[in-house]
């Protein structure tokens, strides 16, 4: 089933509208209580019997932060209570051990990612204990990608070397915007010198890759503040940069109520900011990757993009295609074969499920053949890769060109004839350069579950 999604009249209207980020298809909005722990454990056990079992990617969610950034949409708890954090770390270790019981010991772990929240808010001893549990119960390959998201405001001078000793080789630093006024409005004061010191310490410690997260569309942000931020990025030259658009959803995210809508840049200014960030990064030698990522040509993400092996999952763009993903901690999402499963977001429910020796899953989803076909199209587009509809039709025994006839018509209709967003020749669908800023909206045309009459407030660029 395809349909007319929406027909904005100009590219700016397109940019102002919102669509899912598609870190999965279907998105988590489709997850339901009918798919739960039993389905996930069955999928995990069945995956052991695959001819060549998929490698494992482990995601660990640390939901604690020292203070509240007003723009944030993550699942987190603001606390400085070390007992709460250490108790949670112990539960994470329990969960790691319990999941390992469902997995053959020879399954290779190729990726470990600690996200949050603020993973570096955990006491060092707890981080060490969790990493030790992973090493004891999982077969971690020597070339593992092990990444840690860090808040530079909490980094002690000796910590990057400690993280390297634990085996982390990638670091992701939340930078957002260097302007003090913007930082005040989002309740996240972090002088540039502090971020630069973290970068220096990580380089000295020998991290293979440093990522900066930037955000545009924040309160008080202007092209001047973005200009200063890009000067800083150029000086520091991280291997990767992710530039996310701020989504103002105060109805759903109470912390955002501290942000007055009048302080936000309008859609035109947002669009200019996004384009300015992109032009500065490209001029500085970065490769633009998919929706919102940039990488130096020496970085594996840029190489995967060039080779057409880029992949997208719950952590965003990744070089690790075809992994079974196992999420640990509150709100984390696992994906094994066709089954998605999301852990509960409540700390108490999480702990009590683990005490009962149960996978603390709250809801999930099992993909159909049509979901799989749509997922291949959507993820291919999000990775800015040609999508061969003929091959996909053959593989899934479904007529993709017929299924997507309306979607393809819409794509022609929403762009000027001189600057099409996509091209489709001999059944191969591709996003054009003009289409790159609109990847989410293009991908949304192939989403069977998106409301056919979306409101501007329900969708996000």
242: which 2 tokens? 């992710």
- Select from 115-123, 138-146, 315-323, 342-350 the region that touches ligand SF4 (CB under 6 A): 115-123
Cβ count near 193 (within 10 Å): 8
Least distance in angstroms from the C-beta of 336 to ligand SF4: 26
Sheet of 387-388, strands arranged across? 387-388, 428-431, 422-425
Nearer to ligand SF4, 213 or 362 (CB): 213
Is 116 a binder of ligand SF4 (CB under 6 A)?
Answer: yes
- Select from 64-72, 140-148, 160-168, 419-427 the region that touches ligand SF4 (CB under 6 A): 64-72
Least distance in angstroms from the C-beta of 146 to ligand SF4: 20
Is 265 a binder of ligand SF4 (CB under 6 A)?
Answer: no
- Select from 80-88, 112-120, 192-200, 444-452 the region that touches ligand SF4 (CB under 6 A): 112-120
Under a CB-based contact definition with an 8 Å cutoff, are residues 176 and 213 in contact?
yes
What value does the CA radius of gyration of the chain take, rounded to a whole number of Å? Answer: 22
Q: How many residues sit close enough to ligand SF4 to count as binding (CB under 6 A)?
A: 11
Nearest CA-CA partner of 267 in 22, 21, 461: 461
Nearer to ligand SF4, 11 or 117 (CB): 117
Under a CB-based contact definition with an 8 Å cutoff, are residues 115 and 60 in contact?
yes
Is 247 a binder of ligand SF4 (CB under 6 A)?
Answer: no
Site residues for ligand SF4, window 347-406 (CB under 6 A)? Answer: none
Is 182 a binder of ligand SF4 (CB under 6 A)?
Answer: no
Mapping DSSP to helix (H, G, I), strand (E, B) and coil, where does residue 88 land?
helix
Is 76 a binder of ligand SF4 (CB under 6 A)?
Answer: yes
Nearer to ligand SF4, 190 or 300 (CB): 190
Under a CB-based contact definition with an 8 Å cutoff, are residues 265 and 221 in contact?
yes
Least distance in angstroms from the C-beta of 75 to ligand SF4: 9
Is 65 a binder of ligand SF4 (CB under 6 A)?
Answer: yes
Query: What distance in Å separates the CA atoms of residue 445 and residue 226, rounded to the nearest whole number?
Result: 31
Query: What distance in Å separates the CA atoms of residue 341 and residue 31, rounded to the nearest whole number?
Result: 8
Residues written for the chain: 461
Least distance in angstroms from the C-beta of 76 to ligand SF4: 5
Nearer to ligand SF4, 44 or 65 (CB): 65
Tokens 């091959």 found at: 391
Site residues for ligand SF4, window 162-181 (CB under 6 A)? Answer: 174
Is 69 a binder of ligand SF4 (CB under 6 A)?
Answer: yes
Nearer to ligand SF4, 65 or 301 (CB): 65
Residues 6+ apart with CB under 8 A from 193: none
Least distance in angstroms from the C-beta of 73 to ligand SF4: 8
- Select from 29-37, 68-76, 94-102, 390-398 the region that touches ligand SF4 (CB under 6 A): 68-76
Nearer to ligand SF4, 76 or 280 (CB): 76
Is 118 a binder of ligand SF4 (CB under 6 A)?
Answer: yes
Tokens 């800015």 found at: 384
- Select from 110-118, 193-201, 273-281, 290-298 the region that touches ligand SF4 (CB under 6 A): 110-118
Nearest CA-CA partner of 451 in 2, 21, 5: 5
Residue from 12, 28, 74, 321 that binds ligand SF4 (CB under 6 A)? Answer: 74
Torsion of CA 276, 281, 284, 287, to 10 degrees: -140
Mapping DSSP to helix (H, G, I), strand (E, B) and coil, where does residue 106 land?
coil
Nearest CA-CA partner of 63 in 335, 342, 328, 354: 328
Residues 6+ apart with CB under 8 A from 114: 60, 62, 127, 147, 148, 149
Tokens 């909005």 found at: 29
Which residues here bind ligand SF4, judged by CB under 6 A?
65, 68-69, 72, 74, 76, 116-118, 151, 174
């Amino acid at each position: 089933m395809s349909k007319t999604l929406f027909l904005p009249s100009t590219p700016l209207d397109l940019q102002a509208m919102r669509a899912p980020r598609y870190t999965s298809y279907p998105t988590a909005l489709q997850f339901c209580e009918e798919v739960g722990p039993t389905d996930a454990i069955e999928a995990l056990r069945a995956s052991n019997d695959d001819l060549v079992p998929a490698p494992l990617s482990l995601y660990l969610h640390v939901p604690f932060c020292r203070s509240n950034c007003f723009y944030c949409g993550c699942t987190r708890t603001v606390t400085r209570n070390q007992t709460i954090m250490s108790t949670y770390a112990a539960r994470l270790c329990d969960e790691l051990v319990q999941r390992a019981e469902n997995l053959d010991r020879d399954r290779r772990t190729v990726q470990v990612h600690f996200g949050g929240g603020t993973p570096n808010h955990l006491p060092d001893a707890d981080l060490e204990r969790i990493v030790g549990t992973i090493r004891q119960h999982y077969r971690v390959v020597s070339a593992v990608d092990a990444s840690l998201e860090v808040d530079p405001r909490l980094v002690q001078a000796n910590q990057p070397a400690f993280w390297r000793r634990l085996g982390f080789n990638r670091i992701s630093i939340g930078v957002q915007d260097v302007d003090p006024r913007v930082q005040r409005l989002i309740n996240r004061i972090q002088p540039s010198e502090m971020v630069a010191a973290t970068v220096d310490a990580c380089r000295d410690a020998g991290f293979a890759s440093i990522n900066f997260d930037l955000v545009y569309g924040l309160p008080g942000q202007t092209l001047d503040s973005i200009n200063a931020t890009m000067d800083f990025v150029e000086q520091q030259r991280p291997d990767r940069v992710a530039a996310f658009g701020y989504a103002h959803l105060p109805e759903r995210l109470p912390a955002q109520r501290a942000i007055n809508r009048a302080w936000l840049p309008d859609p035109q200014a947002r669009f200019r900011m996004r384009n300015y960030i992109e032009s500065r990064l490209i001029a500085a030698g970065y490769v633009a990757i998919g929706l919102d990522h940039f990488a130096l040509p020496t970085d594996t993400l840029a190489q995967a993009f060039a080779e057409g092996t880029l992949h997208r999952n719950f952590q965003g763009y990744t070089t690790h295609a075809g992994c079974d993903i196992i999420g640990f901690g509150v709100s984390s999402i696992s994906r094994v074969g066709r089954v998605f499963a999301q852990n509960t977001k409540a700390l108490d429910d999480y702990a009590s499920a683990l005490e009962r020796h149960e996978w603390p899953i709250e809801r999930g989803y099992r993909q159909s053949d049509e979901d799989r076909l749509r997922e291949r199209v959507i993820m291919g587009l999000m990775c800015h890769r040609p999508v061969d509809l003929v091959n996909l039709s053959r593989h899934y025994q479904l007529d993709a060109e017929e299924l997507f006839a309306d979607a393809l018509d819409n794509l022609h209709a929403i762009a000027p004839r001189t600057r099409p967003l996509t091209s489709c020749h001999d059944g191969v669908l591709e996003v054009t350069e003009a289409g790159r800023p609109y990847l989410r909206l293009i991908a949304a045309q192939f989403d069977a579950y998106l409301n056919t009459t979306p409101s501007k407030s329900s969708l996000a660029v």
